[in-house]
C-alpha cells in the first residue's frame, strides 16, 4: 500500500478498496517502526491525523471527495501549522506552537489531505545536507551513513522510505530538488510567486518557494494543483489564473528542444552522475526531443551571488527572533541587551549565526554597494543568461547535483564545499524559474537526479516531460534496500 503513488491511492480510495483511516494508520505504523533510524520527522501528529482521516472518510461518504481527499502527507517543519509545533529545525522555535496555518497547509487540508506530522530539516533551511537541525541529522534511506540532502531532507527521506506518500518542501537555492535527487524521489520548485509564502518561515524572501516532493511527476501535478495560486496575504504572490497541471501530462515530446548548458557538465561533475544524465538524454531523444547546446556563462557566479543575497535577506528576516515576542528566551536576562545577546547566542546554531553575520556585514554602510548591490547586478546577468537560452530552447536540462549523496559529516567542517553542492540549482532560484528533479538512475548504488528547468510559469511543461520520461523508465519506483 505504501508503494502506491498519490494517483493510485486516490483511485483505491475512490473504488472503496481502502479508507483514509486505514491508510493513515498504515503510514503512522511505518513511521513508528522505521523513523527512529532515519530521523525524518520532528513531530508526528497521530491523533490529529486520525481525526482528519475519519473526517475525510465521512466527507467521501457524503460524496464530497476530491482527488487528494483522505491521502496522508507530511509537512516540512518550516510551514506554520495551527496548534502544532513549528520548529524550523531550530532551538529558537523548539517551543513555538503556531497560532495559524500557512496557506500551503490550509490549501492541502482543504483538498482533504491528512497531515501525518512535520519533517526534519536544516536549521532555518540553511544547508544542503539536513545535518544542521537542532533535532539531529536526517539519514539517507539508501545508505544510512549518508546525508539525504537538504534542507528539505526530512521530507525527501520520508517519501523515499515510503513513510508518507508525499511531502511539502521549500527551495531557496535547491532545497527541494537536491534532496529529491539524493533520495531518489521527484521534487519541483515552482516559479517564484506561484506558491504562497504566507506562513512559511522566511529565510531569503526573494528566493524562497514552496513545492511538493512525491514519487512521480503526476503526483507533483496533483499536489501543485492544490498548493498553488494567488494569495492576497503574500505580496509577491503571482496574480495569474489557476492552472490544472494534470491536463498536459501526456502530451507528446515530438520536436521538444532541450538545452544542455555546457557549464553544467564541467570538471566538478562526478563521472557516474554524468553517465546517468547522458542515458537520460538518449531516453528523451527517443521520445522525440532534440538536444541543443546552450550557454549559461555566469553559472560560476551563482554561488558567490547567492551567498551574499541569501545571508543579507536572512539577517533581516531572522532579526525577529529576539526573545521578546515568541520562541526561545534565555533564562534570567540582566537587561534588554543581555536578553538579545544570550537569546540569539543560545538559540541559533553555528550555520545560522555565520549567515546572519555575513548578511549583516554585506548590508552595512560602506559595504552595501560593494557586496549586496553588486550581487543584485550579477543576479540580473544570470537571469539574462537564461532568457537568452530560452530564445533557442523550450527547457534546460542537466544534473540536479554534482555528486550522489555524501557521507554524514563529510562536508560539515568546510562550508564552501557544502555550498558547492548547489551549483546546478541555485541559479534557478536567482532567476525565479521553475525546476524539477526526477530520479534518473544510480551511481555507486545511490540515486541520481535529472534536473529540468523551465521558463517562468512553465511548470506544466516540466511536469509533462518528467511524466513522459517516467512512463518509459522505472527509476522512480525503486525503493531503498530494507524498505519493504
> Buried (b) or exposed (e) across 361-377, using 16+ Cβ within 10 A?
ebbeeeeeeebbeebee
195 binds ligand GLN (CB under 6 A): no
Catalytic residue among 133, 175, 228, 437: 175
> Of 124-132, 273-281, 361-369, 446-454, which part binds ligand GLN (CB under 6 A)?
124-132
Active-site annotation holds for 90: no
Residue ranges in 73-120 assigned as alpha helix (H): 103-110
Active-site annotation holds for 353: no
310 binds ligand GLN (CB under 6 A): yes
Catalytic residue among 151, 152, 196, 437: 151
Nearer to ligand GLN, 69 or 152 (CB): 152
Matching residue, cell 530520479: 439
Nearer to ligand GLN, 235 or 417 (CB): 417
Q: How far apart are CA 230 and CA 192, in angstroms?
A: 12
Active-site annotation holds for 175: yes
Dig out the grid coordinates for 105 from the structure. 497547509
Residue ranges in 125-255 assigned as alpha helix (H): 153-160, 177-183, 217-227
Residues 47-86, mask of contacts with ligand GLN (x by CB under 6 A): ----------------------------------------
Residues 136-175, mask of contacts with ligand GLN (x by CB under 6 A): ---------------x-------------------xxxxx
261 binds ligand GLN (CB under 6 A): no
Quick one: which of 42, 126, 289, 408 contacts ligand GLN (CB under 6 A)?
A: 126
179 binds ligand GLN (CB under 6 A): no
Sheet holding 41-44, edge to edge: 41-44, 114-119, 72-76, 166-170, 210-214, 186-189, 435-443, 446-453, 395-399, 257-261, 290-294
Q: 362 by DSSP, 3-state: which?
A: helix
Residues contacting 412, CB < 8 A, separation 6+: 129, 131, 418
Nearer to ligand GLN, 127 or 141 (CB): 127
Size of the site for ligand GLN (CB under 6 A): 13
For the CA atoms of 197, 202, 206, 211, what is the dihedral angle to 10 degrees? -40
Least distance to ligand GLN from the beta carbon of 314, Å?
A: 9
Least distance to ligand GLN from the beta carbon of 441, Å?
A: 23
Nearer to ligand GLN, 173 or 402 (CB): 173
127 binds ligand GLN (CB under 6 A): yes
Catalytic residue among 20, 76, 133, 401: 76
The answer to whether the CB of 213 falls within 8 A of the CB of 169 is yes
Q: 298 by DSSP, 3-state: which?
A: coil
The answer to whether the CB of 466 falls within 8 A of the CB of 251 is no
Residues that are catalytic: 76, 151, 175
Q: Where along the sequence are the contacts to ligand GLN (CB under 6 A)? A: 125-128, 151, 171-175, 203, 310, 422
Amino acid at each position: 500500500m505504501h508503494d502506491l503513488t498519490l494517483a493510485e491511492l486516490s483511485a483505491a480510495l475512490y473504488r472503496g478498496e481502502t479508507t483514509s483511516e486505514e491508510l493513515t494508520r498504515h503510514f503512522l505504523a511505518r513511521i513508528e517502526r522505521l523513523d527512529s533510524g532515519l530521523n525524518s520527522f520532528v513531530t508526528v501528529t497521530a491523533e490529529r491525523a486520525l481525526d482528519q482521516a475519519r473526517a475525510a472518510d465521512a466527507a467521501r461518504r457524503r460524496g464530497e471527495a476530491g482527488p487528494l481527499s483522505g491521502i496522508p502527507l507530511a509537512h516540512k517543519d518550516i510551514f506554520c501549522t495551527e496548534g502544532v509545533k513549528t520548529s524550523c529545525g531550530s532551538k529558537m522555535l523548539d517551543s513555538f506552537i503556531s497560532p495559524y496555518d500557512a496557506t500551503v497547509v490550509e490549501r492541502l487540508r482543504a483538498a482533504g489531505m491528512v497531515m501525518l506530522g512535520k519533517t526534519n530539516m536544516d536549521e532555518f533551511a540553511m544547508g544542503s545536507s539536513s545535518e544542521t537541525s537542532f533535532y539531529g541529522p536526517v539519514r539517507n534511506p539508501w545508505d544510512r551513513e549518508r546525508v539525504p540532502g537538504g534542507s528539505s531532507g526530512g521530507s525527501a527521506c520520508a517519501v523515499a522510505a515510503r513513510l508518507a506518500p508525499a511531502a511539502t518542501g521549500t527551495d531557496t537555492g535547491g532545497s527541494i530538488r537536491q534532496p529529491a535527487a539524493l533520495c531518489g524521489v521527484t521534487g519541483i520548485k515552482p516559479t517564484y510567486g506561484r506558491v504562497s509564502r504566507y506562513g512559511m518561515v522566511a529565510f531569503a524572501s526573494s528566493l524562497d518557494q514552496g513545492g511538493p516532493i512525491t514519487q512521480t511527476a503526476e503526483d507533483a501535478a496533483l499536489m501543485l494543483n492544490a498548493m498553488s495560486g494567488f494569495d492576497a496575504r503574500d505580496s509577491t504572490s503571482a496574480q495569474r489564473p489557476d492552472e490544472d497541471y494534470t491536463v498536459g501530462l501526456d502530451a507528446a515530446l515530438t520536436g521538444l528542444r532541450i538545452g544542455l548548458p555546457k557549464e553544467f557538465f564541467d570538471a566538478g561533475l562526478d563521472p557516474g552522475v554524468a553517465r546517468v544524465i547522458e542515458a537520460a538524454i538518449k531516453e528523451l531523444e527517443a521520445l522525440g526531443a532534440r538536444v541543443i547546446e546552450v550557454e549559461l556563462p555566469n553559472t560560476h557566479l551563482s554561488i558567490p551571488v547567492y551567498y551574499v543575497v541569501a545571508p543579507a535577506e536572512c539577517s533581516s528576516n531572522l532579526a525577529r527572533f529576539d526573545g521578546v515576542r515568541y520562541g526561545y528566551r534565555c533564562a534570567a536576562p540582566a537587561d534588554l541587551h543581555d536578553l538579545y545577546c544570550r537569546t540569539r547566542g543560545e538559540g541559533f546554531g553555528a550555520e545560522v549565526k555565520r549567515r546572519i553575520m555575513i548578511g549583516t556585514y554585506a548590508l552595512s554602510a560602506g559595504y552595501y554597494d560593494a557586496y549586496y548591490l553588486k550581487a543584485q547586478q550579477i543576479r540580473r546577468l544570470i537571469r539574462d543568461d537564461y532568457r537568452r537560452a530560452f530564445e533557442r530552447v523550450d527547457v534546460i536540462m542537466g544534473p540536479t547535483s554534482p555528486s550522489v549523496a555524501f557521507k554524514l559529516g563529510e562536508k560539515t567542517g568546510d562550508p564552501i564545499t557544502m555550498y558547492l553542492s548547489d551549483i546546478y540549482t541555485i541559479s534557478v532560484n536567482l532567476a525565479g524559474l521553475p525546476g524539477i528533479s526526477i530520479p534518473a538512475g544510480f551511481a555507486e548504488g545511490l540515486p541520481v537526479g535529472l534536473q529540468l528547468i523551465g521558463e517562468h510559469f512553465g511548470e506544466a511543461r516540466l511536469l509533462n516531460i518528467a511524466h513522459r520520461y517516467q512512463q518509459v523508465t522505472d527509476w522512480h519506483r525503486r525503493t531503498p534496500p530494507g524498505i519493504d
